[in-house]
Structure 1
Amino acid sequence: MLSLPCPAGAEELKAYNVTGDAILESLTGAPGDATRGRKLIVERTTTCILCHSGPFPEERFQGDLAPNFSGAGSRWSVGQLRLRLVDASRLNPETIMPSYYRVDGLDRVAQSWRGKPILSAEQIEDIVAYLATLRD
């Protein structure tokens, strides 16, 4: 189990267990909201579609550096999706994907983001819930 202290003003990171290539349990203890998850993905503040593309016809510019989100729910389990969002570097140390729910051991972090996760536990669960709906 990983449990991390957080600096003042930052969300306290929830403890989680990595089992193989997945985090099996929800970070919040509840499933996320897929509608909110889709909205988070297409917002430029999360940066998802800067690298990924998917079933977002309203978004003119989508990335092509990373896997297309179409079919993500068929390719990966909920737990596998969760670990990829929390800390993709556990699966691929050379990845350019940010660790969205990790604050320790990171080198290139802007001063304003140091000690803070990019996404909250609830946001992680919302995005996981949406990606899990994307089936072939």
Structure 2
Amino acid sequence: MKLRLLTLASAMMGVAAFAEETSPKDVPYDDYGAIEVSLTDVNGDAANGALIVGDKSKGNCVACHAVSALADIPFHGEVGPMLDGAGDRWTEAELRGLVANAKMTFEGTVMPAFYKDDGYIRPGDAYTGKAPTAPLTTILTAQEIEDVVAFLATLKEE
């Protein structure tokens, strides 16, 4: 029985590893910036999403947002809205759009686009002439976006 479960789990992990990701240029935003379909066709992992939200080398969402569920991480920001209750305030499609590129919903926001790899202004060219010339990559992968959305969806009003 254990062997069967391990084989099934391995097979499922193999499918997840080969899931088709939506390219940042092909993300289907609706008129309000929401993304109705998963970027990976793989369910997000809320536990990994919580790590990304608090990780200063990844999402670092707590630099601008307060999240009571991550109270053990110091120095939460006050620039963006508190994320407590995010799962009640926004749908998963809206959350996915906000995390991928909040500028599609709120044009003047200072929130970075976590799933965008082109269209950036490279100020180093104008000021120092030392802006990198290689293609830019996204801040988060498509699966990391799904993981963050899964975590944010768990944040309900109490």
Q: TM-score, normalised by structure 2?
A: 0.73
Question: After superposition, where does 1:83-102 map in structure 2 within 5 Å?
Answer: 83-102=97-116
From 61, 66, 69, the equivalent of 1:53 is 66
- Which residue is 2:145 aligned to? 124
Measure, in 2, the Cα distance between the counterparts of 1:12 and 1:72.
24
Measure, in 2, the Cα distance between the counterparts of 1:47 and 1:112.
25
Alignment size in residue pairs:
126
Q: CA RMSD in A?
A: 2.1
From 15, 19, 29, the equivalent of 1:18 is 29
- Aligned structure 1 segments of 4 or more residues deviating by more than 3 angstroms: none
Unaligned runs of 5+ residues in structure 1 are 1-10
The structure with more radius of gyration? 2
Shift of 1:89: 0.8
Unaligned runs of 5+ residues in structure 2 are 1-20, 124-130
Give the fraction of aligned pairs with identical amino acids, expressed as a percent: 35
CA 1:47–1:71: 2 relative to 1, 3 Å: same
Shift of 1:106: 1.4
1:84-123 C-alpha deviation (Å, 9 max, x unpaired): 0111111122111000001121114763884200000010
1:35-65 C-alpha deviation (Å, 9 max, x unpaired): 0000111111122111011121212210000
Measure, in 1, the Cα distance between the counterparts of 2:133 and 2:52.
21
Measure, in 1, the Cα distance between the counterparts of 2:135 and 2:111.
17
Measure, in 2, the Cα distance between the counterparts of 1:131 and 1:113.
32
Supply the AA of the counterpart residue of 2:67.
G
Supply the AA of the counterpart residue of 1:18.
Y
- Which residue is 1:76 aligned to? 90
CA 1:51–1:112: 2 relative to 1, 3 Å: farther
